[in-house]
Amino acid sequence: MYNSGVATKSGGKYHKQSCKMVGNMATENKLYYKDAVAAEKDGYKPCAVCFKK
């Protein structure tokens, strides 16, 4: 079960909203997705920190 995703325009990765990396992002660089599938459709890859299994 994923939280809704937050992607960075520059980074090519998406994160859970709870990821500590999200707090370091500039607001203007954030893109919000309803889920990880939607982010992946736009070519984003999961963050290795917050999507680590």
Q: For residues 26 and 30, give the distance between their C-alpha atoms in angstroms, rounded to a whole number.
A: 7
Q: Closest approach of Cβ 22 to Zn ion, in Å?
A: 7
Segment near Zn ion (CB under 5 A), from 3-11, 15-23, 24-32, 36-44? 15-23
* Residue 21 interacts with Zn ion (CB under 5 A): yes or no: yes
Burial (Cβ within 10 Å: 0-12, 13-18, ≥19) of residue 18: exposed
Segment near Zn ion (CB under 5 A), from 1-9, 28-36, 41-49? 41-49
Looking from the CA of 44 toward its CB, the CA atoms found within 13 Å total: 27
Among 19, 25, 36, 39, binds Zn ion (CB under 5 A): 19
